[in-house]
Structure 1
């Protein structure tokens, strides 16, 4: 199935100041999350960011907080590993009315995995963006992606998401987003 901008919500999980430095390929992960947030905003896709225990792990990294503010994204604190277990997030996500969740974030094998699995249990279509998702170790990241793929999640890249959201070339949105994906 294709990822449709009219049916998607972008969920960016726990890309926080004290967490990011410990992750594999943090610069790549942040760059691709920024691209996803920008594309989502351009194409009318709702964006929700989360912060796991921000008192201890800090807030969303400035590079993403800035683009999230420009995209009018919600940034929600949480304590549960699965975002869907947090009432504030679950309410905000369901309020979008979208049936597809495009997920990026940290840590892949904990909060991303639990959120994606629970969303699928609840009947949502889930796509995990590999190049915008990370863990402290490659083994944990791979285990997450393998497990979620076996459960039915789409394992995708940033470019796959952006081009599927766009659907065609030659539009104003395509021209606006092209510099991000060249």
Structure 2
């Protein structure tokens, strides 16, 4: 596999799914909600196949509910859902400890909402020396919040990438890509063209 420090390496990545809960999803346009759930679900499956560890958060679970069911079904490999009581996950000791325990230096963020919990998590992780990437099409916020959040993160030095781009950086070469499609049993979301 080509070594390139600018590419996101699966062997150094931790995938974090932030607050994809039904009470947040209903605030979005249906198309955006469906896109976030399908992209997050797919990336969770890809991460599992590539042995990329997973961290899942849900905000104030007793009030806002657990992570949406289609994503809970993908929590394999001992992944647990953390009850997040701060907007930026790096500000909660137990979640930060889980990030640190993964032993990875690149944190890939997905989830809700782009301009609040995703952005604040990204900034807090950058402050602690992590390389941070945000998957733009696996995040969302109501109205213009998504664009504002992406710009805030870009300005701070977060890598903004698509789910498709991340997949190809993680697999890195044609043979591994073929291996994934032949042997993983994981499909691709209908609206995510990978050719």
TM-score interval, normalised by the smaller of the two chains: over 0.9
CA distance in 1: counterparts of 2:70 and 2:125, whole angstroms:
27
Using the TM superposition, give the Cα deviation of residue 88 of structure 1 relative to its aligned residue in structure 2, in angstroms: 1.0
Using the TM superposition, give the Cα deviation of residue 73 of structure 1 relative to its aligned residue in structure 2, in angstroms: 2.0
The residue that corresponds to 1:83 in the other structure is 89
CA contact (8 A) 1:34 1:63 kept: yes
Q: Are 1:53 and 2:83 counterparts? A: no
Q: Pick the structure with greater CA Rg.
A: 2
TM-score of the superposed pair, with normalisation by structure 2:
0.88
The residue that corresponds to 1:151 in the other structure is 156
Using the TM superposition, give the Cα deviation of residue 122 of structure 1 relative to its aligned residue in structure 2, in angstroms: 1.1
Count of residues in correspondence between the two structures: 180
SS class of match (2:26)? helix
Name stretches of at least 5 consecutive residues in structure 1 with no aligned partner: none
CA contact (8 A) 2:13 2:105 kept: yes
CA contact (8 A) 1:43 1:173 kept: no
Using the TM superposition, give the Cα deviation of residue 174 of structure 1 relative to its aligned residue in structure 2, in angstroms: 4.8
Using the TM superposition, give the Cα deviation of residue 84 of structure 1 relative to its aligned residue in structure 2, in angstroms: 0.6
What root-mean-square deviation, in Å, do the aligned CA atoms of Structure 1 and Structure 2 show? 1.4
TM-score of the superposed pair, with normalisation by structure 1:
0.94
CA distance in 2: counterparts of 1:146 and 1:120, whole angstroms:
15
SS class of match (2:86)? coil
Q: Which protein is richer in helix relative to its size?
A: 1
SS class of match (1:67)? coil
The residue that corresponds to 1:162 in the other structure is 167
Using the TM superposition, give the Cα deviation of residue 178 of structure 1 relative to its aligned residue in structure 2, in angstroms: 7.0
